[in-house]
Amino acid sequence: MDIQAKLDLLGSGAQADLACGSCGEGRAASPTYLNHLGLEARQGDAARKTRVRDDIGRWIYPAVRPDGQRILMLKVLQTNACEKDCFYCATRRDREQPRTTFQPDELARTFDQIHRANLAEAIFLSSGVAGGGTRTMDRMIATADLIRNKYAFRGYLHLKLMPGAEPAAIERALQLADRVSVNLEAPTSEHLAKLSSTKRYTEELIAPLQIARRLIAGDPRLRHKTMTTQFVVGAADETDREIAARTTQLYRDLRLARIYYSAFQPIENTPLDGRAPTPLVRENRLYQTDFLFRQYGFTFDELIFDAHGNLPTEADPKTVWAIHHPEFFPVELNRASKEELLRVPGLGPISVRRIVQTRRATKFRAIEQLARVGADEKRAAPFILLDGHAPMHQLALW
């Protein structure tokens, strides 16, 4: 199989993994091609409607580094051969599809050529599990080592930790990568059992994250390295409450940098093929909750769930909290603390910072002034006062 075919197949296999931080709109990849690799342009509606923004096989994504810098990232598998039986996964064992593998030097050399052609600034490397987690991890580390040391790549590198990875391999991965991750996929071992009979939640998935956390905390040379994970939402009959509880624990105990959520979408010829897809609004609500934890100072106990343990879909979780706490509102925009302002729907960390800065020089006297600092004045209006007066033109909450 030639390089282009491998990139297509193994790039496709990596697309469902969100833990690299792929997101939103990014600048387009260079139209320069690696002609000696036989890379062909692929453009069309499908590419324009997704996160993908490349011309060399569809698998270069706009991504955001931990420092906020936007970059173009190649997402690829070392191999799509896999001995695991995850019921939702396109690369699960026994599913009929073409299988292939990049040898370490082959993949490292290919990425070096892509990088030097200014098509990608970073790489996210995952893999199916073939020959056990240890052997798979060894191949991935060999690839990363070549990228760093043979090809002198100093950019952003994200490595997945394989289930059951050994401590020595995890330490070497942290030395080579900027970020490592393990996809938990489910909030508990009981839920994971509904998604796979070949993965052990605590021993194979939680343990590598715990080992990585201890290494990062204990070695000053690793202090800047970060970790992430991902949940498949709605495939294991889990509730949002259960996901949010696990999320809180992971942020508190393991200091994860980010947690990603992927609404379950059935894949043909898998055991969950006939299961209904998870509505994207549920994924969106979990992301909004995640931001409340990380940037707004909310705690798990403050979340409001419905009778089934899920987040309400009719409004975002911050607005739901505000509606259920009328005693907190309205807040005085010109005097409220930063923490109080962050509780106001329509105000975010950036707009709150700008409000505080603006108040040092002048008062807010009209609701329209909020738009100038990047706030959503229509959402905020019902929850604030301007020098003791309710803003005019308040809109309905829903």
pLDDT tens readout for residues 2-58? 888 898 889 888 887 876 654 433 333 332 223 333 333 222 333 333 344 344 445
Domain residue ranges in the chain:
3-278, 325-385
What are the tens digits of pLDDT across the range 90-127? 999 999 999 999 999 999 999 999 999 999 999 999 99
List of long-range contacts for 203-211, beta carbons under 8 Å, 24+ apart? 203/164, 204/133, 204/163, 204/164, 205/163, 206/182, 207/164, 208/161, 208/162, 208/163, 208/164, 208/165, 208/170, 208/182, 209/161, 209/182, 209/250, 209/254, 209/256, 210/254, 211/165, 211/167, 211/170
Q: What's the pTM value of the predicted model, to 2 decimals?
A: 0.87
Fold: same for 3-278 and 325-385: no
- The top-level CATH class assigned to 325-385 is mainly alpha
Beta strands in 42-175 (DSSP E): 60-64, 70-77, 122-126, 156-160
Judged by DSSP in three states, 28 sits in coil
Tell me the one-letter amino acid at 4.
Q
Q: CB of 41 within 8 A of CB of 31?
A: yes
**pLDDT attached to residue 225:** 97
**CATH placement of domain 3-278:** 3.20.20.70
What are the tens digits of pLDDT across the range 266-276? 999 999 999 99
